[in-house]
Chain A
Amino acid sequence: DAGVTQSPTHLIKTRGQHVTLRCSPISGHKSVSWYQQVLGQGPQFIFQYYEKEERGRGNFPDRFSARQFPNYSSELNVNALLLGDSALYLCASSLADGLLYEQYFGPGTRLTVT
């Protein structure tokens, strides 16, 4: 079975632009979470979606938004990019809501903002 897939792998954007990152969960998984990992730091939670509803939101500005589609794939959108948004963006999927269900992480999308 395929694991969590993310696209694109790498991305370079200019300050002020908008970016969309995509995530396909493991087949059968209904929950998707997004994390931002700045170089040298641990991942920081951005959003969690379960059954297309937002279940949790981290401490990120409104420039960050996400959604989950009927097939459980997800998009993370970031508007008005700042240099500080440069990071590895990780997506994780799990069967259902709650920590009893193991999260499986994708390889990430490396975003560079210049």
Chain B
Amino acid sequence: AQSVTQPDIHITVSEGASLELRCNYSYGATPYLFWYVQSPGQGLQLLLKYFSGDTLVQGIKGFEAEFKRSQSSFNLRKPSVHWSDAAEYFCAVGAYNFNKFYFGSGTKLNVKP
């Protein structure tokens, strides 16, 4: 069965510090992996996606993620967090032929000034 685990429910980092949000997936076929961000009152916004090729993918807003097949992980990173990054972040795995995602339960990011 397909599933996504985000082990950290809440994370607090200081502004300017580095960030890593963890994501582990379970998927029977080749995974198509995504990171979305959800700010209060706004829709989910795609940060980045991995389909194939280079395992380090760059996204918007200075985010990047690394696909590690051996660890079934797709962790999201940012070298220096800004206060505006405070939001909830969702990892998702998709089935190629369908617009259907399996989302993780999310990680809420707080940024300390």
Residue from the list A42, A48, A102 in contact with B104, Cβ < 8 A? A42
CA A94 – CA B94 in complex, angstroms?
14
Question: Do A103 and B46 touch across chains, with their CB atoms under 8 A apart?
Answer: yes
Bits for A1-25, please: 1 = Cβ < 8 Å to B, else 0: 0011000000000000000000000
Which residues from chain B contact A106 at a C-beta distance below 8 Å? 43
Question: Do A58 and B100 touch across chains, with their CB atoms under 8 A apart?
Answer: yes
Question: Do B99 and A42 touch across chains, with their CB atoms under 8 A apart?
Answer: no
Instruction: State the total of A-B contacts with C-beta under 8 angstroms.
Output: 74
For B, the interface residue count at a CB cutoff of 8 angstroms equals 27
Question: Do B43 and A40 touch across chains, with their CB atoms under 8 A apart?
Answer: no
CA A79 – CA B4 in complex, angstroms?
29
Question: Do A43 and B44 touch across chains, with their CB atoms under 8 A apart?
Answer: yes
For A, the interface residue count at a CB cutoff of 8 angstroms equals 31
The residue in chain B whose Cβ has the minimal distance to the Cβ of A40 is B105
The residue in chain B whose Cβ has the minimal distance to the Cβ of A6 is B43
Known: A41-B106, A42-B103. A97 touches B41 (CB 8 A): no
Known: A41-B105, A42-B104. A99 touches B96 (CB 8 A): yes
Question: Do A45 and B44 touch across chains, with their CB atoms under 8 A apart?
Answer: no
Which residues from chain A contact B45 at a C-beta distance below 8 Å? 105
Main SS of the interface on chain A? loop
CA A44 – CA B42 in complex, angstroms?
17
Which residues from chain B contact A102 at a C-beta distance below 8 Å? 46, 49
Question: Do B43 and A97 touch across chains, with their CB atoms under 8 A apart?
Answer: no
Tell me, yes or no, whether B102 is within 8 Å of chain A by CB.
yes
Question: Can you name 24 A-B residue pairings with CB atoms under 8 Å?
Answer: A33-B99, A35-B101, A41-B106, A42-B6, A42-B103, A43-B44, A45-B101, A48-B98, A48-B100, A50-B99, A56-B100, A92-B44, A98-B96, A98-B97, A99-B51, A99-B94, A99-B95, A99-B96, A99-B97, A99-B98, A99-B99, A105-B36, A107-B42, A107-B43
Residues of B within 8 A of A (CB): 4, 6, 32, 36, 41-46, 49, 51, 90, 92, 94-106
